[in-house]
Structure formats: structure tokens, C-alpha cells
Amino acid sequence: MDTILIAVGAGVLYLVAYNTYGKWLSRKIFGIDPNRATPATVREDGRDYVPSKREMVFGHHFTSIAGTGPIVGPAIAVVWGWLPALLWVLFGSILIGAVHDFSALVMSLRNQGRTIGDYCGDIVNKRVRILFLIIILFALWIVIAIFGLVIATVFKSFPQAVIPVWFQIPLALTLGWWVYKRNGNPLAGSLVSVAVMYLSIWLCSHFSVLQIRSDMLPPFISAIGFWTVLLLIYCFIASTLPVQVLLQPRDYINSHQLLLAMGLLILGIFVAHPKLIGVAPAFQPEVPGAPLLFPFLFITIACGACSGFHCLVSSGVSSKQLKNEGDAQYVGYGAMLLEGMLAVIVILACCAGLGIGFNGMTGAEAWLAKYSAWGSASGLSNVMIAVVTGGGNLINSLGIPAEFAQGIIGVFIASFAATTLDSSTRLQRYVITELADTVKIPALKNIFLATGIAVVSGLLLAMFDVLNADTIAEGLKTGGAGAITLWPLFGATNQLLAGLALLVATVWLYRRNKPVWITGLPMIFMLAMTGWGLVSQLAGLFNPPEGQPRDLLLIFIGLAIFILEIWMIVEALVYLMKLRAKRAAGSTLPELVESA
């Protein structure tokens, strides 16, 4: 019964928040105007700026921001107890995460659909533009490396998920043709695609001949290396195609796949009504081998409550597709609340769902088998097993065979990681071209060269053990450890990016004479918590356990990002003080020149 109350209560809370705080922000603070022209309509180019129906944009936006963040993060964080994870997801997503996403989207809509790293130069100064673009470049570099590895790990661990995930590509191409060439109904086309996709999951779960196992791959490369290379080749193609051809329809299909999977999980909670209290501890601040609850809870959960990556999707992708500014709350604020709901369900699956049964154990014994210590809870494979097993148990309670249920969850995770991966590649292309424009290197504005740099650098970072191998071939055969070691740094960098985006939004609101506490208080909290976490991680990297060498690459990336962020914060605060002095002296603040 406790799991049912939590699931229902979370849903009601999010609905109330959307229709109260969300509407107030939309109307009174950000001044959303349905009659204002949007970048998609003014700058339509058939490739990136594409006026689209709001449900298509919502699907593309939601699946891009979701990825595996609200799955992996909460699945690790419950090691400290389900209560702090649940509270941060609920209130963090409403008061910080959704505000962050919404503000980034609105600012981009008013600034030609440019990324936040580019338009922040108009809001603050040109130095901040360069600093923020470089920070984003580093952040997306890490995201591409990590999410390529996440999908490759799912493919290796759950071979029944491989064909259904790749089968999404022809389904998405067909849907894009149906909607944009034949003027077909997008909802009907997407539901048919999901049905066909679920049929492929069932077939691959029942017939082993359709499962792509690691021993079927070339012997000269590891399974992780093979899938990572193939995924990044796909990303190059997908990120250079017009957005409405593949990325947008694929994400729209995935949005309905998510809603169906979430519906099955919630229905499983109602049918199985598994116990939460007594299975997993509500609060467990001290865990063997784990970092401190504060600040690492807020870094670990990331996308389930607030994520800096979201400001890039809002400003770099979604703002180029909205054909009506009136849809901004629905996409920017609403999608984050739905992601919070997903994180709530993951928490319940990894606690109560896992307690239904794991390797012959039930209840607290089953939970402790995965969460007795930090090492058993934090590994990527361990997290995937906890989510797939717990979620599979809930779906299995509906009478769906266990193999099929686990296949549904495995495809669900891999599909969402893929949407983040290809969107990140497209965003990295935008950032590279915007930097090229800033530093006057025209060659880098070529979309194919910029995308090539994005995917090759991501592959090298994911497999950076190749730098210590005798040959690249040997590195690919044994590599993949690179992105695993990057995961903690990804969390801190991602959250600091959110703090910086809120800093830009605070300056924007101040220049518009709007209340700054809306973004200012979340900004202070995010910068304080995640700055604390990054400093702690850097200290650990400088002083590794005895017998282990210093990881110089992680130290370099972490220090570079930290120095750039401190510089950017100082620049923005100095500018704010100048604005405050002008206002106190009765002078008029510099006019914000904004247009679609």
C-alpha cells in the first residue's frame, strides 16, 4: 500500500505544480505570448529549424532530456535510503529542474533559437559566451562518451534488446515520411510503431536465434567497443540528417514507449502492491565505501531532479522546433515533471520491485544483495540489473512472462540512452559551429566536419584506455573503462552546468526587472552543492588509494571545467553588481535586444 500511495501522491503533486506554479511562471514571470513569432517559423530551413506540432516536440524534447539519467541516478542513490532520493526528486524537479529547463527554453525562443552558451554573451558579455561554450563542449564530450557506453552495456547484458532497438530506425524513418510527406496522423503512426516494436521485443525474447550475443561479434574487438563504434556511426548519420527525418520521429515513438512502460510499471505496483517499508531503509546516510550523502545525493540523481544537460536540449534543439510560444510551458516545464515521475517509479522499482524477488531471495534480503555497499550499487552493470530486475518483477506481476518483461525494460533503457546520445551529438555540432563563429574558424562551421569531431572525440574518450595500449586495436578490444571512470565527473559537471544556466537566467530576469529569487535561490543551491562535490572529487583524484596511479586525464578535465566555471561566475557576478549600481543611481539598464 505504501508504494501505491507514493505513486499516486507524486502524480497528484506534479499535476498541481504544473497548473499552479508552472502557469504562474509562464504568465507572470516569463510573459509567454502565443502570438509572438518563434525561431522555427522565422528561420525555417528544413533541417534544424522546423515548425512542428507540440506533441512531436514534446516527445523529442522529453526523450532527449530523459535518457538514462532519471534511471541510473535514482537507482544508485537509493543506497542512501529511498526517502532522501524521493524528496529530492519531487521538490527538486518542481522548484529547480523544471524552472531551469523552462527558463533556458524561453530565453532561446527570444534569441533566435541559439544555444544558451551562445546567447548568454548577449545577456552578460562576450567573454562569458566563450567560457560557457567551452564548458558545454567539455560536458557534451563526456555525455557522448558515457551514453555510448551505457547502451553498449545494455546490448551486452541483454541480447534480446539489440534487434528491437535498432529496428526503431526504419520505424522512425517511416513515421517521419508518414507525418511530413503524407500529412498522416502522428499519434496513430507512433502507436502502430510502438505495437510493432513490442512485437519485435516478444519475438526476440522467445527466440534465441534473434538475440545478438557477444560471442557472435568479431573476435578482434570487445562487445562494448563494437557497439560503441556502431552507435557513434549511427549518431553521425542521424545528427546530420534533417531533424524531422529521424531524430524527431524516433523520439516521438520513444515517448509513447515510455508512457506505455511507465503505465505497465504503475499498473504492476497496483496489482503486486509490493512493500517498500521494511524492504529498503528509508534513510541510511552511512554506507560502506560510499561518498557523503551531502552533497553527492544531488550529484548522483542528476536528471531525475535537475540536469544541466536539459538547458542544452531546451535551447539547442526544442527552441528550433516550437511553432507557438504558447507551447513553451507544456514542453519546457511539463517534460521535466514527467521525468521526475519516471524517477519516482525507478525508486519504487529498485526498492519495492527488487524486493519481490532476486536470485531466489525476497524482501530486505533481495534488496541487500544489490545495495549492501557502495561497490555493489554503483557499478553500471549492477545498476542495470537492479532496474531491469525490479521493473521486470512489477511487469511480471501482470502475467507477462519474465523474459518478455525484462526485454521491455532493457529496450526501454537502451532506447532512451540512444535519444540522449544522438541529441548530444547534434548539440555538440551546434556548439562547435558556434565556437567556430566566435573565434573565426569558418571550416569548423561545416556540419559534417563538426559532427565528425563530435563523434570521434567521444569515441576516444569512451575508450581512452587505447592511449595506454600498444595499439588502437588492442585498446578497442579491452577498452570501455574510460567512460565508467568518467561517470562521477559527469554528475558534478552536469549539475554545475545547471547552476550556470540558472545564473544566466538570473541576470536575464534582473535585466527585465522580474523577481530573481525564482532562479537565484536554485542557482545558489546548485552551485554550492555541486561545487562542493567537484572539489571533493578532485581531491580524491589528486590523492588516489595507495597503489593506484593518479588519473591525469580526469584531473585535467575536472580542473579545466572548474576553473572555467569559477571564471564565468565571477564575470556574471561583476556584471550583476554593475547593473545594480546603475539601477540604484537611477540609470536605465542596457536594453535586451531579443527576437525570434
Rg (CA), the chain: 23
Q: What pLDDT does 377 receive?
A: 61
Q: How far apart are CA 130 and CA 133, in angstroms?
A: 5
**Distance from C-alpha of 331 to C-alpha of 318, rounded to nearest angstrom:** 8
Confidence band for 302, pLDDT divided at 50, 70 and 90: confident
SS3 state of residue 398: coil
Phi/psi at 358 (5° precision) = -155, 115
Read off the pLDDT band of 1 (50, 70, 90): low
Cis peptide before 295 (omega within 30 of 0): yes
Q: In residues, how long is the chain?
A: 596
The cell for 457 is 572525440
The predicted structure's pLDDT at residue 541: 82
Give the helix ranges, DSSP H, for 440-480: 447-462, 472-478
- Give residues with Cβ within 8 angstroms of 228, minimum separation 6: 148, 149, 152, 459, 462, 463, 480
Can you say whether the dihedral through the CA atoms of 357, 359, 365, 369 is positive or negative? Answer: negative
Q: How far apart are CA 251 and CA 549, in angstroms?
A: 42
Strand, coil or helix: what is 144? Answer: helix
Would the pLDDT of 376 be above 80?
no
- DSSP reduced 3-state for 111: strand
pTM for the model: 0.92
Q: What single letter denotes the amino acid at residue 360? A: G
- Which among 297, 305, 317, 337 is positioned nearest to 498, based on CA atoms? 305
DSSP-assigned beta bridge partners for residue 52: 322
Residues 405-437 have pLDDT tens digits of 888 888 888 887 888 888 899 999 999 999 998
Query: Could you report the per-residue pLDDT of 120-165, keeping only the tens digit for each?
Result: 999 998 889 999 999 999 889 888 888 887 788 788 878 888 999 9
- Lowest average pLDDT, out of 23-37, 95-109, 427-441, 531-545, goes to 531-545
At 256, the amino acid letter reads: H
Q: What is the pLDDT of residues 103-114, one digit of tens each?
A: 999 999 999 999
The letter for the amino acid at 247 is L
Write down the CATH number for the domain with range 2-584: 1.20.1740.10
CA neighbor of 116 nearest in space, from 318, 275, 282: 318
Beta carbons of 283 and 12 less than 8 angstroms apart: no
Q: Which of 328, 315, 306, 340 lies closest to 519 in space, CA to CA?
A: 306
For the chain, what is the mean pLDDT?
88
